[in-house]
Amino acid sequence: MFQIIFMGTPDFAVPSLKKLSESGHAVALAVCQPDRPRGRGRKVMPPAVKQAALDLNIEVIQPESVKAPGFFELLADYTPDLYVVVAFGQILPKTLLKMPRLGTINVHASLLPKYRGPAPIQWAIINGEKETGITTMFMDEGLDTGDILLTAKTVIEPDETAATLHDRLADLGADLLIKTVHGFEDGSIRPIPQDGRQATYAPLLKKEDGRIDWKKPAQAIDALVRGMTPWPGAFTFHGNHRLKIYRVRAVDKEVTAAPGTVIRGFPDELQIAAGQGVLSILEIQGASGKRLSIPDFLRGYPLPPGSLLH
């Protein structure tokens, strides 16, 4: 039985913590980010891992920085065999990475070396990938550059959003983590160095990344909307009115109208000319702040043919 320190913060890490706790190994400590203000009310809330750890009767600490005085000594007192890191949110210095007897392992939501970085789930969808997966790896001082331990693949469904893929990969990651820990137990783990020549990067998303470029093909805009759901959200403008786009469907239809132009369709449809093909908007949010189906939206905010989105 291994002595394990778990480091993670958001919802994505919770299935891994729960599976690890159920595996028979001793999760001696959970380390997560401090409580932060969240939501529209900016109420201070505990991170998901903290709540899950307390429910599992696992001790929790929440350092502002892993470089804080005394933090290294505190972890050393647990004499850990392994650190398990899942979406922790802080960079670990070499001294911490090398402390556990067996090393520090990470659960990453891509098939490394593709999509290194903080937003692999979203960018895989935005870029139109047909599959993605989970990689467990040894952590080193680079950004997701450590030796690969195990991988698990999954198909990206045509209607997949970042929200649905996030939840599937969180569960897949938990299962692969347990297989990885078992591999350390039976000696079957064989680390494989990454091929840096194949590496791609998945940068942190910014709100402005969600703005729709109507010159792009309808299929690419569809992928953008799905990859930006639920956050930061895809959006466009009609005049000065910001419209948040939740659900769309690409239509393979030839049009001559300029990209961003509302084209003629049935009264309860909103079809927009793209750089290639047409995008049918199915759910939208306007200034009212309510997410609406297109028929409901158009009753209060008509967009006749020829209207231009930008």
Q: What pTM value is reported for the model?
A: 0.96
Q: What is the largest CA-CA distance in the chain?
A: 69
If asked whether residues 18 and 120 sit together in one domain, one would say yes
Round to whole Å and give the CA distance between 226 and 220.
10
Give Cα 147 distance to the centre of its chain.
22
* Domain total of the chain: 2
In a domain, 309, yes or no: no
Q: What 3-state class would DSSP assign to 152?
A: strand
Do the Cβ atoms of 214 and 280 come closer than 8 Å? no
Phi, psi of 137 (to 5 degrees): -150, 160
Which CATH number does the domain housing residue 287 bear?
A: 3.10.25.10
pLDDT digits (tens, 9 = 90+) for 176-232: 999 999 999 999 999 999 999 999 999 999 999 999 999 999 999 999 999 999 999
In a domain, 267, yes or no: yes
Round to whole Å and give the CA distance between 282 and 265.
13
If asked whether residues 70 and 211 sit together in one domain, one would say no
pLDDT digits (tens, 9 = 90+) for 9-51: 999 999 999 999 999 899 999 999 999 998 778 899 999 999 9
If asked whether residues 11 and 108 sit together in one domain, one would say yes
